[in-house]
Structure 1
Amino acid sequence: MELQAILKRNIDENFPFLKEKKLLIACSGGLDSTVLAYLMKSLEFQIALAHCNFSLRGKESDGDEMFTVGLAKKMEIPVFAETFETKKYAAENKVSTQMAARDLRYHWFGEILKNFGYDYVLTAHHLDDDLETFLINLSRGSGLQGLTGIPFQNEKIIRPFLNVSREEIFEYAKENKISWREDSSNAKPDYLRNKLRLDVIPQYKEAANSLLRNFQKSRQNLRASQHLVEDYMALVYKLIIAETADGYSINIEKLQELPHPRAILFELLSGFGFTAWEDVYNLLEAQTGKRVFSETHQLLKNRDLLFLSEISSEENFSEFEISKETPEISEPIRLKFETEKYIGETEKNIAHFDFHKLKFPLKLRKWQEGDQFQPFGMKGKKKLSKFFKDEKLSLSQKDKIWLLTSNNQVIWVIGHRMDERFKVTETTSEIFKITYFKEKK
Structure 2
Amino acid sequence: MLQNFEKHIDNKLPFLRHSKILIAISGGIDSVVLTHLCHNIKLNIALAHCNFSLRDDESDADEVFVVELSEYLDVEVFAQRFNTKAYAEDNKRSIQMAARELRYNWFSELAEQLQFDCILTAHHADDNLETFLINFTRGTGLDGLTGIPEINGKFVRPLLPFSSKDIQHYAKENNIKWRDDSSNTSIKYLRNKLRHEVVPILKEINPSLLQSFHATLENLNDTADIVEESTYAVLKRAIVTMDENHVAFKISEFKKVNNPKAYLFAVFKDFGFTEWNDVVDLLDAETGKLIWSNTHRLIKNREHLLLTAINNTNTDEVILIAQSETSKETPLGTLFLNETDVVLEPNNTMIYVDKDKLKFPLVLRKKQEGDVFYPIGMKGKKKLSKYFKDEKLSLLDKENTWLLCSGDKIVWVVKRRADERFKVSENTKNILKIKLS
Task: Provide the TM-score with structure 2 as the length reference.
Answer: 0.79
Task: Specify the alignment match of 1:216 in structure 2.
Answer: 214
Structure exhibiting the larger radius of gyration computed from Cα positions: 2
What is the aligned counterpart of 1:225 among 223, 226, 242?
Answer: 223
Distance in 2 (alpha carbons) for counterparts of 1:363 and 1:91: 40
Contact 2:26/2:62, CA 8 A, preserved across alignment: yes
**Correspondence list, 1:31-42, <5 A:** 31-42=29-40
Unaligned runs of 5+ in 1: none
**SS at structure 1 position matched to 2:18:** coil
Structure 1 range deviating more: 85-94 or 202-211: 85-94
Cα distance, 1:9–1:436 mapped onto 2, change above 3 Å: same
Contact residue 135 and residue 144 of structure 2 kept, 8 A: yes
Deviation at 1:342, TM superposition (A): 9.7
Query: How many angstroms apart in 1 are the aligned matches of 2:394 and 2:57?
Result: 56
In the TM superposition, 1:224-373 aligns within 5 A as: 224-245=222-243, 246-311=245-310, 313-315=311-313, 319=316, 367-368=368-369, 371-373=371-373
Distance 1:145 1:411 in 2: 52
Write the deviation string for residues 96-121 of structure 1: whole angstroms up to 9, x where unpaired: 55455444433433343344343211
Instruction: Please state how far the C-alpha of 1:27 moved relative to its aligned partner.
Output: 1.1
Change over 3 Å in CA distance of 1:266–1:29 after alignment to 2: same
CA contact (8 A) 1:335 1:436 kept: yes
1:337 shift after superposition:
12
CA distance in 1, matches of 2:220, 2:414: 50
Give the 5 Å matches for 1:112-127. Answer: 112-127=110-125
What do the CA deviations read for 1:158-210 (whole angstroms, capped 9, x no partner)?
11111112232223223333222333443444443333334333333334433
1:60-105 superposed Cα distances (whole Å, 9 cap, x missing partner): 4443333222211111001122334555656666665545544443
1:117–1:322: structure 2 CA closer, same or farther, 3 Å change rule?
closer
Identity, % of aligned pairs?
45
Tell me the amino acid that sits aligned with residue 293 of structure 1: W
Q: 1:71 to 1:408 in 2, by over 3 A?
A: farther
Report if the CA contact (8 A) 1:23-1:121 is conserved: yes
Q: 1:319·1:363 contact (CA, 8 Å) conserved in 2?
A: no
Any conservation in 2 of the 1:248–1:307 contact (CA below 8 Å)?
A: yes
State the one-letter code of the partner of 1:231. Answer: E
Moved more, 168-177 or 38-47: 168-177
SS at match of 2:22: strand
Match of 1:146 in 2: 144
Change (3 A) 1:29 1:300: same
Q: Distance in 2 between matches of 1:83 and 1:159?
A: 24
- Secondary structure at the residue paired with 1:19? helix
Q: 1:321, 1:361 within 8 Å by CA — same for their partners in 2?
A: no
State the TM-score, normalizing by the size of structure 1: 0.79
Give yes or no for contact 2:250–2:303 (8 Å, CA) kept in 1: yes
The CA distance in 1 between the partners of 2:36 and 2:19, in whole Å, is 17
Which amino acid counterpart does residue 47 of structure 1 have in structure 2? I
Alpha-carbon deviation of 1:40? Answer: 0.8
The range that moved more, 43-52 or 105-114, is: 105-114
Aligned counterpart, 1:11? 9
AA aligned opposite 1:400: N
5+ unaligned residues in a row in structure 2: which ranges? none
Q: Tell me how far apart the structure 1 counterparts of residues 408 and 94 of structure 2 sit (CA, whole Å).
A: 41
- Partner SS state of residue 177, structure 2: coil
Task: Give the counterpart letter for 1:286 in structure 2.
Answer: A
2:169 corresponds in structure 1 to 171
Q: State the alpha-carbon separation in 2 of the partners of residues 94 and 338 from structure 1.
A: 46
